[in-house]
Amino acid sequence: MSVRVRRVYEPPEPDDGVRVLVDRLWPRGLSKDAAHVDEWPKALTPSTELRRWYHAGEGSYEEFADRYEAELDAPEAGELLSYVRELTAKGPVTLLTASKDPEQSHAAVLLRLLGPDAR
């Protein structure tokens, strides 16, 4: 199982495997052809309210991560998380985000939740 996080603006690489966009909004200025996105599970992304709260600087990353994990307990999000886990069992998966700091984003939370081999 191989999972990693990359910025969606970076060009695709041969070892990306299945490219999964994990942002609720489509990245600005990027065409769908250029993004090479295979999956876009919007219900797996943080809610609009949580995203706005975090970007407003109202809380720490740790609190954001806790709130996001709680959102992932919802049935639809949980099903999508299981689906992405299934994808990782079949081959490499790259989580794509437009976040300027992927290590302090929801993509890092997903990476951690998807297993020990995630990088």
Q: What type of residue sits at position 60?
A: S
What pLDDT sits at residue 119?
A: 45
- pLDDT tens sequence across 48-72: 999 999 989 888 999 999 999 999 9
Question: By C-alpha distance, which of 73, 93, 77, 92 is closest to 41?
Answer: 77
pLDDT over 80 at 84, yes or no:
yes
Q: Compute the distance between CA of residue 107 and CA of residue 111 in angstroms, rounded to an integer.
A: 6
| Mean pLDDT across 32-44 | 94
Q: Compute the distance between CA of residue 119 and CA of residue 115 in angstroms, rounded to an integer.
A: 9
- Tell me the pLDDT band of 115, cut-offs 50, 70 and 90: confident
* Domain parsing of the chain, residue ranges: 3-113
CA angle 115, 40, 52 (to 5 degrees): 85
Regarding pTM above 0.95, the answer is no
